[in-house]
Chain A
């Protein structure tokens, strides 16, 4: 089955099977290993990518469903000149990860949040991010990183 979709701003074309998940296609065919697979039942959020801007669990989302749509993965956030997305920078600045396995999904979910609500409160962050599990950090620095990134993005959008 041939599929076409937009991947991180560029057209992508793959030949895959009907049963292939978006995570399988991204990782095994397109060599984008940033999207991590953990629970495989849409609970932990590690595989979160954006499809037409909405966060989905790539571990259970069929690649077929992405046809003709726009897919953004963690690899799509860094600018071509190497500048990190404010969320990526904030995760570094706030020590918001340790092992890093949940981090790509965490950042993608946080991006969806800030795209939808640029100034979330602490409670809104906690509510929105509750579908992403981190076993290392205890979440506090992740909340701080999202708040920091929101601040940076607000400043950027003014200038």
Chain B
């Protein structure tokens, strides 16, 4: 069994070059955008100019008469389909029906011989709208006279994966509410030696995968086949099965390489629309969104948080209370889960005896929000980690020492009912602090801080896999985990090669084809290495057990007489490798053994979360007081990953996540003016570039083999994002003495805060 701490690894825990390296550097890696099917047509989407309006009429006759147009699909052409989807609640029509709920919502799709013709025909569709009053913030959505976005009662989506009831569809604009509570918060605040309290705003952001959403669908008598840039093909399959009223076996989702996801390609996006286009056009259809359209498809939930935190006279945190309003936009998507997670994530990774967190997400007439790397954690870590620093300053403690004194301890059940904490925050914080030179002299205008994150990660444990050992001793892993760039095509073969004792180069991966690869619930929440990695390890071990029985059969001995060795078996003087075992068993140099694994919420995965994702970041920044511009002098990431199956990949995930977090801390923000998203393009949405690189970067891993995954591994790749905005805000306070409770800390915001300080 893999539970004991093993250290003499041959293949895992080594930075083996990426399996997809050669195809990705030569331009041969295939993405959905590169795919063309015979007879394929192209779709383009007409989008609503209004945030909230009744659709009075749609005249598509001129567009349908345009040369080269196969058909035009609207919300009124969907008879025979169940057009509403959503894995939490089925509130989302694949094209607007009766009304539009945000500016940019798909209203019609043209299917034509090529993209240009489809695009031309969009102008020929005549839609008459009757504008309705719209709401854009949670506050507006809660007002007495607020218009209701959704009048229907929703059918619950079957694949929820969270514990609470969905609030949506009950006659208000509340999409979801969640609360966690223990201890006596009121009493604790009364008894407190010091309290900090404040209002914080975390902005809407866009994950900005370089590959915008793209899908190719072929709907015919055989069923529905879709090639998509989706992270979770099995989740998308579920929505399509319900839309087309088909058995699971007739819906096939195939995901080749994905050009970046970061949560934004979680769950169903454009697949229902492109499938409906294929269904109407009776041919394969491709829908490739532009970046601007992708930015009208998903964003992160922005969050308005009031929070207060209290300490006793010994510097021990005794209470935290928060009220959060999240803006989930026009449709629920995955936001009910984001609400649940962000509620939980207000607490960790600190052991706090009195807690009350109340959180609601509201429907508004804006782009639908959903998953984004870290699942609601960054939204609440800005207030959470800001208040840790604010409190430390208030009671005159070093913020790093203050964190150490209050952080959850290894093995501590700091969140009642959840898995005991499986990270080592002291070591994480020590490593981060040392990396940025904690305690050494600082130049004027510079600030240095550390922050941490500990989030209930790993999503839900439902994962299966097949590991096929072939007669030549090579191996194929059948996995439903999607290669988004995180490295699953490298890490999973490392695990199988280690377990089976075969060469890494002999292990191949087939991934994310729901007709072929066994069920895996999702590729998100940092779960793949832990859950799919465990499944691959178990399936490899199960294949070994089968081959031991086969070896006994071919050698005509008892199973007990067979001893496993690296890459094969031994019985007395006779040694056989896997290739020999299989070939002798079948009597031909052919055939295979299939090892299987079914992981569910049971055994070591009975407790949730699957693991606590822990990480620390450290930054040193400098502030130009003339302009308010922040410069990143140093950045350190520390991933508490149990065991890095591939250390270079694990560090790369941390740096990528921290860079996204830095972007939010410094300049990333989607901005609405009235009903319109005004910076929904790369020209206006500021992303981190080469020139934003911190001057000095250090990447560290803490590897105590304390994870529940293979060889003591656990997930990483989100947590380094979560603490970055707070870290930057804290560092600015330490550098120039202004406390900014809103991200991003743009030069203007910093400059205005500095001017405000002068006036005081």
Q: Residues of A with Cβ closer than 8 Å to B?
A: 19, 27, 32-41, 43-44, 46, 73-75, 77-78, 84, 88-89, 91-93, 95, 97-104, 107, 125-127, 129-130, 132-143
Contacts and interface: CB of A to CB of B under 8 A. Distances in A.
B693 A143 contact: yes
B420 interface: no
- Chain B interface bracket (under 10, 10 to 19, 20 to 34, 35 or more): 35 or more
B211 interface: yes
A143 B690 contact: yes
B33 interface: yes
A126 B690 contact: yes
Shortest beta-carbon contacts, A-B, top 6: A34-B27, A99-B485, A98-B485, A101-B259, A100-B24, A138-B659
Contact of A38 (B24, B211, B648): B211
A36 B658 contact: no
B386 interface: no
B17 interface: yes
Given A44-B682, A95-B649, A37 B485 contact: no
A6 B688 CA distance: 35
Given A40-B290, A97-B485, A139 B690 contact: yes
B690 A132 contact: yes
B487 A98 contact: yes
A141 to B, nearest CB: 7
Given A38-B211, A135-B210, A140 B22 contact: no
A138 B258 CA distance: 18
Given A36-B33, A74-B27, 18 more contacts: A34-B28, A36-B210, A39-B681, A39-B682, A41-B683, A75-B26, A78-B26, A84-B22, A91-B21, A91-B25, A95-B15, A100-B257, A102-B210, A103-B24, A130-B690, A134-B210, A135-B208, A137-B655
A40 B210 contact: no
A41 B681 contact: yes
B690 A40 contact: no
A35 B27 contact: yes
Interface string B18-45: 1011111111111101100000000000
A133 B681 CA distance: 14
B687 interface: yes
B210 A33 contact: no
Given A84-B22, A100-B485, A135-B260, A75 B690 contact: no
Contacts of B116: 19
Contact of A93 (B17, B20, B261): B17
27 contacts: A33-B27, A36-B31, A39-B682, A43-B683, A88-B26, A91-B25, A95-B17, A95-B649, A95-B652, A97-B485, A98-B487, A99-B260, A100-B20, A100-B259, A107-B25, A126-B693, A127-B691, A133-B210, A135-B260, A135-B262, A135-B687, A136-B485, A138-B652, A138-B658, A139-B659, A140-B655, A141-B655
A101 B208 CA distance: 12
B691 A36 contact: no
Contacts of B22: 84, 92
Contacts of A104: 27
B652 A135 contact: no
